[in-house]
Structure 1
């Protein structure tokens, strides 16, 4: 069936029909991690969200080139990314290691976490250090257009000059005067012409570890520049989707647009998509508040905030239960509810292949299938999709228990629906260890219980039922016999 996908565009602040520039090809760029520490849960939410988007676009038949960079140089400690010490170099000095040892350690760790969450790898994963030449060439182009200036070997973007012909605040909806009034003057930045000017290329001090030769002397690229240069190289001057966390919109993505327009005369992306923030019990997640935790702590439960650990698929399911543009609040009660919901969905999924076919049907799956697509076509509305999948689960359990009849055509549609939306689009997978003998063992236990009932040994019969229930298996008695299912 033909699908009309609508996405919320931060640039226009409204939902718009998704129309790729060069269908069926889609170009998507998402800002990746700065690899100086373990990836945090806020990052994970962003990458799970764009994994959902990548999977759904691919399912619709688009040929997606998904580019997600790795920042391995140039991201300094200041809010704007171009003041203070390089985050990776600082970590390397403290650990008495080479910067690339830090990069390697945390890049491997990042990929491990992505794999645990069943996040598909991007089509291309370029690094900042691998694209120094492209960044230098973009600086030259911006200077040639008159939007950048050199001071003592550093190159700065002239925001006020740019804003005379362009709208610098087009992404965040703020005018230049407001931005200037709300920007604090930082120490050591006297060489900039204006408070909002940002570094394209920074002259390296003698002690700086990561530096490269350039036409302006030895230095290193500004943080914002790498994404402009790499998206331009791999997706062209204009592409379809640019994504990242909402915290990147006011500065990083705003500066990306300015760089691209200055160099090429074009806003790089037609659709800007942003994921929202994580909170913990209603508070912003942060180290200073003592309420932040890393993925491995969430899995193990080794954090004072958590009552217990939760599996990676439970966490993924929890994150997908909120729309990617909504604030997502972590709490033990919410996580436990998600754990139960995930198990309920996957238990139903495990039953679908064993359902019996009837000559007649008491349920039509086509309307349910259409509602699933409608949810995803409404700005990737995964919580509504999950609600529809719970309705599919109800149908599966009713057919399994003999309370509902389904014919071959509707059963096949139901199987396809569950495989498509649970596995392929939501990216969920069963976490039960494979055990081919388990069904045989359970069927034997059910037989022993039936024999106890036949001999009027109800104490043993009840003991078997209650014992199975305590370890997560439900027995369902019906006219056709006794079936078991995982709770």
Structure 2
């Protein structure tokens, strides 16, 4: 716990790095806006959640007790992030001819499966928007009671102009309210709002709307921005340390969260706002409509028209962390192939290090190397600098293997401990890409055993043939002999 005060975080609210001082000593509350579960999780989401996974890991590494809340948005997120139109989940349910909660379950499972493959730590709490309707209604009522919202035709809207009389709306994004009003003036009178800049806290459900709940204002559903305010404050308190998400959420989503909390509780909700930058593909914005798109699972399977081959989850994670979370990252075949070479060098070096024996004297300053790695992470979680420091270690390991450099038993133990801690505990990279190698190797081994069994049968060695078949069956692999040869199933 002696190093905690060195950590600096870039605060989007102030536009500068600040020394991290949690509200409650040794405890950190962190909320990250989770996915809207209406489709397969896309690569940009994975990058954002990976950034906060590393932040979560490093805070835990420093000894903090972290409560990490990442929500599931399963209602209320309107298409194109506006207040009018169709809920993303309801729209997908209609297209796939399923119940909305079937859509939610299907894509929540996909989300968890993909994040597990990329070795994410699960959050401390993963609340759903539909599980917190009561809390959302309570906050709407508080804002109404404070005179900063109004009911209109069964919906409730946040009164941005009234709020702006005492608190600045646009404090996070740096937007000017007058500019926002002039840019949206053509929308005036098209809905139930007093002003086009007002946003929905609660939406009236039309008769055909499936997802609906009773409220004091009639049947309806919550506004998207309100959901995160309710879930974050329920589990982290009305003031907490870190709120994160993608850069695209800064406005209007996070701006509205600040306004809602100020309007309900009369104070700012968050001490440090953090935003992960965007991910591009081959230098362009990812979009299904243009074909410039790839899903995380398609990278792992190789089933895509973008990359030359499949890549392991560890390589993809390593590649993504070579860019700082606040930088735009461009994903391309050339870039990830280069990352794979670097990753393999690192894996080989660590395997070599684990075999190296101690000497009587140290000719390399391990403590200085550890300090540089920690300083990189203390500087707003600078993973590219930490990775560069790891490659300095690769040079040292090669020198140790050639006995040009030596380490005492104590220094060697510390070197091994920290190289594993940096790679596995903090960056979350699984060195044992054995898992991917195993997956590729198993079919080859089965084919080899089938070939041996075929040879045994050709030699009329029925005893060996039966033994091979029975042994495979014990391992859960059933052989089927047919006219086209032998096949197998698990």
TM-score range, shorter chain: 0.7 to 0.9
Q: Distance in 2 between matches of 1:180 and 1:424?
A: 48
**1:2-401 residue pairs with structure 2 within 5 A?**
2-3=3-4, 4-80=6-82, 82-183=83-184, 185-186=186-187, 189-401=190-402
Give TM-score, length-normalised by structure 1: 0.87
Q: Distance in 2 between matches of 1:161 and 1:270?
A: 24
Q: Distance in 2 between matches of 1:198 and 1:68?
A: 23
Q: Distance in 2 between matches of 1:380 and 1:179?
A: 34
Q: Distance in 1 between matches of 2:410 and 2:422?
A: 18
Residues 372, 35 of structure 1: alpha-carbon distance in 2 compared, 3 angstrom cutoff: same
Task: Give the gaps of 5 or more residues in structure 2.
Answer: 442-490
Q: What's the counterpart of residue 459 of structure 1?
A: none
Using the TM superposition, give the Cα deviation of residue 287 of structure 1 relative to its aligned residue in structure 2, in angstroms: 1.9
Q: Bigger shift: 198-207 or 284-293?
A: 284-293
Secondary structure of 2:330's counterpart equals strand
CA deviation profile, 1:151-209 (whole Å, cap 9, x unmatched): 11100001111111101100011221122233364498421011110100000011101
- Assess if the C-alpha contact under 8 Å between 2:69 and 2:124 holds in 1: yes
Using the TM superposition, give the Cα deviation of residue 401 of structure 1 relative to its aligned residue in structure 2, in angstroms: 2.7
Residues 130, 60 of structure 1: alpha-carbon distance in 2 compared, 3 angstrom cutoff: same
Task: Give the gaps of 5 or more residues in structure 1.
Answer: 439-487
Q: Distance in 2 between matches of 1:360 and 1:292?
A: 54
Secondary structure of 1:288's counterpart equals helix
Q: Distance in 1 between matches of 2:369 and 2:54?
A: 20
CA deviation profile, 1:119-153 (whole Å, cap 9, x unmatched): 00000000000000000000000000011000111
Q: Bigger shift: 183-192 or 90-99?
A: 183-192
Using the TM superposition, give the Cα deviation of residue 403 of structure 1 relative to its aligned residue in structure 2, in angstroms: 2.6
Query: RMSD of aligned C-alpha atoms?
Result: 1.5
Q: Bigger shift: 399-408 or 232-241?
A: 399-408
- Assess if the C-alpha contact under 8 Å between 1:356 and 1:399 holds in 2: no
CA deviation profile, 1:53-80 (whole Å, cap 9, x unmatched): 0000001011000000000011111333
Q: Distance in 1 between matches of 2:292 and 2:174?
A: 32
- Assess if the C-alpha contact under 8 Å between 1:56 and 1:425 holds in 2: yes
- Assess if the C-alpha contact under 8 Å between 2:324 and 2:382 holds in 1: yes
Using the TM superposition, give the Cα deviation of residue 280 of structure 1 relative to its aligned residue in structure 2, in angstroms: 1.4
- Assess if the C-alpha contact under 8 Å between 1:156 and 1:197 holds in 2: yes
- Assess if the C-alpha contact under 8 Å between 1:356 and 1:400 holds in 2: no
Q: Distance in 2 between matches of 1:185 and 1:250?
A: 20
- Assess if the C-alpha contact under 8 Å between 2:362 and 2:406 holds in 1: yes
Q: How many positions carry a matched residue from both structures? A: 435
- Assess if the C-alpha contact under 8 Å between 1:352 and 1:415 holds in 2: yes
Using the TM superposition, give the Cα deviation of residue 286 of structure 1 relative to its aligned residue in structure 2, in angstroms: 1.7
Q: Bigger shift: 405-414 or 382-391?
A: 405-414
